[in-house]
Structure 1
Amino acid sequence: MKKNARLLYLLTVWTFFIPFSSTASPKLTDEETPPAVSPGVTYVLSMPEPQTHYFEVEMQLKNVAAATNAKKNGYLDIKMPVWTPGSYLIREYAKNVEAFTASAGGKPVASEKIRKNAWRVYTADDNLTIRYRVYANELTVRTSFVDADHGYVTPAGMFMYHDALKNIPLRVVVQPYKAWKNVATGLEPISGQNYTYEAADFDLLVDSPIEIGNHHTFNFTAANIPHTVAMFGDVDYNEQRLAADYKRVCEAAATVVGEHPCKQYTFIVHHIPPGGGGLEHLNSTTLETTRNAYATEANYKRFLSLVAHEYFHLWNVKRIRPVALGPFDYENENYTHMLWLSEGCTSFYQEYILRRAGFHTPEAYLALVASSITEIENQPGTRVQSAAESSWDAWIKGYRPNENSANTTISYYSKGSVLGSLLNLAILSASNGERNMDDLLRLLYAEYYKKQKRGFTDDEFRKAAEQVAGRKLDDFFNIGVNTADPINYNAYFEPVGMKLVNVAAKLQDGFLGAATTVANGKSTISSVRRGSAAYTDGLNVGDEIISIDGVRVGDDLLRQVSGRRVGDKINVLVNRAGLLREIPVTLSQNPLVSYRLEPVDNQTATQKALYAKWLYIK
């Protein structure tokens, strides 16, 4: 995806040799003459008043007039990205920028904002300084934040760029608030210069978040690679155990591809009340979890699952990637049909890695697989939107759900996780246990990341999968990936001696299909399931349910409906936009399923052997 070499920041002198000739060589014009010294960009990041939630950025540009065409045009355009890789939504980072100014030789230079994320600086000077402030008061893995306790930088929302300077080495100088001593980042530190880092290009800078404060750090080595964990937030944990379990997860993840591409790796972990997930980067990740993440075994295992997911991204998506996901266009959407692979199959691997590392028993892993299938099959949108469509529409639907989303969409995370399980099984059974999905990822890593140094197309991925499986995978791609048709799950599970069984109770209770929220004693419909009684008979999102059959409804809607039979009619009185309406509703059959994986009868020796290989049972 991006270059992973660490280039030194050099000022390289260009020397031109003019061949001897009795005829004078044509004289180069100013526009044609290469710059005498290569251009350079340095960012100085400070936060002198962190309690105000402002970062201050000084962007120093050296020897850039020729490279940026400023000498020819009399101006250059500086831009702010509108999104960050790994989070597929236009976030309009420029909305947080203020006080943009430019100067050259210590004197102000005229500038103006020309687009939502671009500023035009009117100068032909070779060297100039740009200054601006960034308001940062949203602590997520994809936005920047600073307060009296710490600072966190999402580089896409902090550092500006010029198109012509994206591929040159960059330098970042962090000036921590006076009371802070620590900086954590995947950027390469420059020896002998405190808080000074380098990046081979702007892509690598964007891919390297920065944590600044007094966080605690600990270290471990996994797969012969040094790892650093930066822990922000007051939290109780056993450092020795946590470091050992990080190591187990990371080493199990490294066995999938079999080669670790990093020289070092950094985890930035925020312990905050709501938690919040993670975001992957080339040689680092940011994780957000709750302060009780280590308090119980269940919470602890969920956290390790998050660790496995984001860590595995250093292969799947950062290096093994669809062609659309790098190099990036930071001003527009970057579309792909394969987020089900990049994100969803990473979700598959997060639990598969924990199984291989010994955190999940075989039985626990089977329960997780069945639960994933239950989740997608209970969402009506799984029959409307394919995994490929879900991936493509991430920019407008995935991050912008509404009250009808469950009826019309399916998450490329959840559907992709199931597809990862099925593709793994398809390859395993087709190769008689000789290969699995690991072999597919190794092929993609070797061919496209290492050899061709690019991503792969949809067609190239399919051909690679079929090559590893040794057969056509029309059933998987034509149905599982590219359509919303029902999947024949047992065709995948039968070769390993298992079957998927719906164990939902055969209830005769009628089903309403309206979810509600209760506030101040009022029960208001928040969503209506497609095909349900509420959907068919006209209950709407936003309706306040006053009563059922004349009995007042507060927080006991489910109790009032339970015990009634399929086909029973109820009269629902609602307040809709200030008007009372009585709506007759005929209760329908409960459509929800609950799946479990069970052994087939009379398992064969071949099935038992494949089962053991599938679940890494020795």
Structure 2
Amino acid sequence: MEQRSATIHYTLSVSSISQHVFTVSMTIPALGKDTLTLSLPAWIPGSYMVRDFARNIITLDAISNTGEQFTVSPVDKQSWHIACNGEALTVTYQVYAFDLSVRSAYINDEFAFCNGTSVFLAVTDFQHCPCQVDVILPEQRPDWSLATSMPASTGNSLVANDYDELIDHPIFMGVCTQTDFTVDDVTFTLLFSGSTEYDMPRLRRDLAKVCQHHLDLFGKPAPVQRYLFMTLIADKGYGGLEHRSSTALLYPRFELPLAGEAEEPSDSYTNFISLCSHELFHTWHVKSIKPDVMVSPDLSQEVYTDQLWIYEGFTSFYDDVTLARSGVISPEQYLKIVAQNLTRLYKNAGRFKQSIAESSYYAWTKFYKQDASAINNIVSYYNKGGIVALGLDILLRQQSNNRYNLDDLMRLLWQQYGHNKGTPANVIATLCRDHLHVDVSDYLARVVYGTEDVPLASLLADIGVSHVTQSPVSLQDKGGELLTKSAPCYEFGATTKDADSGLVILSVQEDSAACQAGLQIDDKLIAADGYVLNAKLLQRMLSVERQAPLALSVIRDGRLLNLSMPLIAPQPQSCVLQISDPKKLAAWLNH
């Protein structure tokens, strides 16, 4: 048998719903090697953290076609040697699947879900071989069905050209509701796990506008003919992960519009459409255009790049602006979203310590492993990256007399680096200089490779938008709305969650009143001035002028402490964006 044409065959089944176990049978033809090495990825593309998926493998056995047991020897935490004497063999293993996320594998009584990186072992040196997967649905669940973007040969038999394609199509089997719609000859499927009936006509209508925008932006031919929005519904949870012709999403069950409900705007619905917009945009901008080191990444260990601000940041700009451009939300709603993003950024002291290029590079150890100190020490390449993209769009318009904008830059990226050519670190500055005739190197040096804020007040004025910062209205102020009442007299400077009595401290901003008082993460703040606290009472106490510091009673590690919080005026960290020239803003939104 020609080794390059040898097909590696997998059978995937749910062997226990209650114990959350997949069983995988892997038939490997004779490949001419006395010893084969099998391995599972340590991370999944699009989520830059080593997750050690192999830790979920329970048992692993290998036998020949004649039933002879082969010796399986571990090499490291995710690899095994099998002494097969050049013979064909069958490897059978079980995978524990109880991670309700878009990154791994999960089984419950309603559905089973997996990414290939969690369940399909690779044969080292033979990842180029074609793969076939036969999915066996549980006999005890006749109401379960199969859904995936992986091509099918017949029935539940799926095919992939190689291992990279095999692990880039998540697989769903279970109870679900779904609907199709078509935009420019591309068929989109919208799937929700479970039996909750959602407002499918509204979802189809709004998502069709988003899909049309992205297809128009990059032009024909589209990189896919079919695309699957696969949404795992849960009581709680949120997430999205891009794949080459699908996305896996996680969303709270009742944060979506139900069938028969009035079409009222809600932040949760807007967030869902924006999430879909974000992941679909990645079909071009991450799955096809990607950093040079991500073209053929080593999935056994970290792969470093300082370019994630280009990929997640630019996509974070487009996910929301697409909704405004296509009429899913109003310009006012869009500006509120941007203002809230800016408010999160302005409350983040870490933006003055870490650049978004550094944030990209250290995503593996800092951004994806955040602790309570993150707000003071790191910056999000998603959040600030989206603001950098907004500023870059306006700057390109200014410097080119409105000949070019960020859309032109995206099309250049697609034309020159699409289809896995790999972008170098200086790609943005180079394309802008050589093709758009605009020098953005100073801008990038200051806001991408440096820690300066994007000068939005002056930039936004060019598109008819005013930029205002004000003191937070309350402890929960997310930004985006002008003061309708007096701001608190004093700041607090910590985030909290409610406890049975009092408040638990989640994070403390450096140099804030809470910091100077000595509050620490995980403190239980039970009283102020002798009165048992909740968030509302603390807000009231901070809103009344007083002379003496606030006396705090805190439980820390089983000890009762008395602290004194100084009176500090609140910082103007809450952002509000307003339309100052509707015609300019409309012209910007309409390109």
TM-score normalised over the length of structure 2: 0.90
CA distance, structure 1, for counterparts of residue 201 and residue 583 of structure 2: 37
Opposite residue 46 of structure 2, the aligned amino acid is: G
Match of 2:83 in 1: 122
Match of 1:614 in 2: 588
Checking the alignment, whether the CA contact within 8 Å between 2:465 and 2:578 is kept in structure 1 is yes
1:271 and 2:251 aligned = no
Say which SS state the counterpart of residue 476 (structure 1) adopts: helix
Checking the alignment, whether the CA contact within 8 Å between 1:187 and 1:197 is kept in structure 2 is yes
Say which SS state the counterpart of residue 165 (structure 1) adopts: coil
Say which SS state the counterpart of residue 462 (structure 2) adopts: helix
Match of 2:151 in 1: 188
Shift of residue 172 of structure 1? 1.1
Match of 1:525 in 2: 505
Match of 2:56 in 1: 96
Opposite residue 96 of structure 1, the aligned amino acid is: N
Say which SS state the counterpart of residue 525 (structure 2) adopts: strand
Q: How is 1:436-451 mapped onto 2 (pairs within 5 angstroms)?
A: 436-450=405-419
Match of 1:285 in 2: 247
1:83 and 2:83 aligned = no
For structure 1, which runs of at least 5 residues remain unmatched after alignment? 1-10, 13-34
Shift of residue 312 of structure 1? 0.9
For structure 2, which runs of at least 5 residues remain unmatched after alignment? 259-263, 472-482
Shift of residue 103 of structure 1? 0.9
Cα deviations by residue, 1:482-539 (Å, 9 ceiling, x for unpaired):
1222332133223324331224457461223233333231433222111112213422
Greater radius of gyration (CA): 1
Q: How is 1:185-224 mapped onto 2 (pairs within 5 angstroms)?
A: 185-190=148-153, 193-224=154-185
Q: How is 1:463-482 mapped onto 2 (pairs within 5 angstroms)?
A: 463-482=430-449
Match of 2:129 in 1: 168
Checking the alignment, whether the CA contact within 8 Å between 1:222 and 1:250 is kept in structure 2 is yes
Match of 1:371 in 2: 340
Say which SS state the counterpart of residue 369 (structure 2) adopts: coil
Checking the alignment, whether the CA contact within 8 Å between 2:111 and 2:194 is kept in structure 1 is no
1:357 and 2:326 aligned = yes
The verdict on how the C-alpha distance between 1:194 and 1:508 changes in structure 2, with shifts beyond 3 A counting, is closer
**Which range is displaced more, 397-406 or 55-64?**
397-406
The verdict on how the C-alpha distance between 1:555 and 1:347 changes in structure 2, with shifts beyond 3 A counting, is closer
CA distance, structure 1, for counterparts of residue 579 and residue 187 of structure 2: 42
Match of 1:425 in 2: 394
Match of 1:573 in 2: 553
Checking the alignment, whether the CA contact within 8 Å between 2:346 and 2:573 is kept in structure 1 is yes
The verdict on how the C-alpha distance between 1:229 and 1:541 changes in structure 2, with shifts beyond 3 A counting, is closer
1:535 and 2:515 aligned = yes
CA distance, structure 1, for counterparts of residue 213 and residue 280 of structure 2: 11
Checking the alignment, whether the CA contact within 8 Å between 1:380 and 1:408 is kept in structure 2 is yes
The size of the alignment, in residue pairs, is 567
CA distance, structure 1, for counterparts of residue 278 and residue 519 of structure 2: 40
CA distance, structure 2, for counterparts of residue 361 and residue 92 of structure 1: 43
Say which SS state the counterpart of residue 470 (structure 1) adopts: coil
Match of 1:228 in 2: 189
Cα deviations by residue, 1:287-318 (Å, 9 ceiling, x for unpaired):
22222211453133222111111111101111
Match of 2:366 among 394, 397, 419: 397
TM-score normalised over the length of structure 1: 0.86
Q: How is 1:311-322 mapped onto 2 (pairs within 5 angstroms)?
A: 311-322=280-291
CA distance, structure 2, for counterparts of residue 138 and residue 330 of structure 1: 20
Residue identity over aligned pairs, in percent, reads: 29
Opposite residue 488 of structure 1, the aligned amino acid is: P
CA distance, structure 1, for counterparts of residue 100 and residue 20 of structure 2: 11
1:509 and 2:489 aligned = yes
The verdict on how the C-alpha distance between 1:555 and 1:314 changes in structure 2, with shifts beyond 3 A counting, is closer
1:43 and 2:10 aligned = yes
Say which SS state the counterpart of residue 315 (structure 2) adopts: helix
Shift of residue 567 of structure 1? 7.4
Shift of residue 79 of structure 1? 0.4
Match of 1:60 among 6, 27, 31: 27
CA distance, structure 2, for counterparts of residue 521 and residue 494 of structure 1: 47
Match of 1:387 in 2: 356
Match of 2:422 in 1: 455
CA distance, structure 2, for counterparts of residue 275 and residue 462 of structure 1: 38
Say which SS state the counterpart of residue 109 (structure 1) adopts: coil
Match of 1:141 among 93, 102, 108: 102
Shift of residue 583 of structure 1? 2.8
The verdict on how the C-alpha distance between 1:97 and 1:364 changes in structure 2, with shifts beyond 3 A counting, is same
Shift of residue 545 of structure 1? 3.0
CA distance, structure 1, for counterparts of residue 68 and residue 531 of structure 2: 76
Opposite residue 134 of structure 2, the aligned amino acid is: V
Checking the alignment, whether the CA contact within 8 Å between 1:51 and 1:148 is kept in structure 2 is yes
**Which range is displaced more, 168-177 or 425-434?**
425-434
Say which SS state the counterpart of residue 571 (structure 2) adopts: coil
Cα deviations by residue, 1:119-177 (Å, 9 ceiling, x for unpaired):
11112223111110001112211111123322111110111102201122111111111
Shift of residue 281 of structure 1? 0.3
CA distance, structure 2, for counterparts of residue 456 and residue 356 of structure 1: 28
Checking the alignment, whether the CA contact within 8 Å between 1:155 and 1:206 is kept in structure 2 is yes
Match of 2:261 in 1: none
CA distance, structure 2, for counterparts of residue 508 and residue 556 of structure 1: 12
Opposite residue 297 of structure 1, the aligned amino acid is: P
CA distance, structure 2, for counterparts of residue 566 and residue 471 of structure 1: 54
Checking the alignment, whether the CA contact within 8 Å between 1:186 and 1:283 is kept in structure 2 is yes
Say which SS state the counterpart of residue 526 (structure 1) adopts: strand
Q: How is 1:244-255 mapped onto 2 (pairs within 5 angstroms)?
A: 244-255=205-216
The verdict on how the C-alpha distance between 1:553 and 1:507 changes in structure 2, with shifts beyond 3 A counting, is closer
CA distance, structure 2, for counterparts of residue 559 and residue 449 of structure 1: 51
Say which SS state the counterpart of residue 412 (structure 1) adopts: coil
The verdict on how the C-alpha distance between 1:51 and 1:547 changes in structure 2, with shifts beyond 3 A counting, is closer
Opposite residue 582 of structure 1, the aligned amino acid is: N
Say which SS state the counterpart of residue 210 (structure 2) adopts: helix
Opposite residue 79 of structure 2, the aligned amino acid is: A
The verdict on how the C-alpha distance between 1:508 and 1:81 changes in structure 2, with shifts beyond 3 A counting, is closer
Checking the alignment, whether the CA contact within 8 Å between 2:349 and 2:509 is kept in structure 1 is yes
The verdict on how the C-alpha distance between 1:542 and 1:238 changes in structure 2, with shifts beyond 3 A counting, is closer
Checking the alignment, whether the CA contact within 8 Å between 1:78 and 1:118 is kept in structure 2 is yes
CA distance, structure 1, for counterparts of residue 112 and residue 171 of structure 2: 8
1:159 and 2:127 aligned = no
The verdict on how the C-alpha distance between 1:344 and 1:255 changes in structure 2, with shifts beyond 3 A counting, is same
Checking the alignment, whether the CA contact within 8 Å between 2:169 and 2:243 is kept in structure 1 is yes
